């Protein structure tokens, strides 16, 4: 079983760096509300089921309660509607997949990744 090692997103500059990084490896942004039970469940499920190799996808964690400005920056640069919890798959500078709440699963991320790779 692979361990999910979150990379914290705490500044808008880190988000901009993530965009550049996504040209080398797909990146997952998990927007988490520490005040929300559904968000805690979605995070737990990702961590329990994580089976990606490090070179397949890089996971980033955004505490949107503490770093609301960073969450707003993510919504703006990827032209997405803010939700919580929310998972965004970023590849080649674009958000290819956006889901929220209990639709956030490793299986869904794998499908989205495979769809992107086959194009």
The helix/strand/coil state of 32 is strand
**Which pTM value belongs to this model?**
0.93
27-79: pLDDT as tens digits: 999 999 989 999 999 999 999 999 998 889 999 999 999 999 999 999 999 99
- Give SS3 for 13: helix
Domains of the chain: 7-117 (3.40.30.10)
Q: How confident is the model at residue 117 (pLDDT cuts 50, 70, 90)?
A: low
Q: Both tokens of residue 59? A: 């996971």
Kindly state the DSSP code that residue 84 receives in the 8-state scheme: S
* Cα-based distances in Å from 79 to 43, 44, 104, 114: 23, 27, 19, 23
The answer to whether 81 and 75 have CB atoms below 8 angstroms apart is yes
- In the three-class reduction of DSSP (H, G, I as helix; E, B as strand; rest coil), residue 3 is classed as coil
């Amino acid at each position: 079983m692979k361990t999910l090692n979150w990379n914290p997103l705490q500044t808008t500059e880190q988000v901009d760096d993530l965009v550049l990084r996504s040209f080398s490896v797909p990146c997952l942004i998990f927007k988490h509300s520490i005040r929300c039970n559904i968000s805690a469940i979605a995070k737990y499920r990702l961590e329990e089921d994580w089976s990606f190799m490090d070179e397949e996808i890089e996971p980033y964690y955004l505490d949107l309660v503490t770093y609301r400005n960073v969450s707003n920056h993510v919504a703006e640069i990827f032209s997405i509607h803010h939700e919580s919890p929310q998972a965004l798959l970023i590849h080649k500078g674009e958000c290819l997949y956006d889901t929220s709440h209990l639709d956030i699963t490793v299986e869904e991320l794998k499908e989205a990744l495979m769809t992107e790779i086959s194009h």
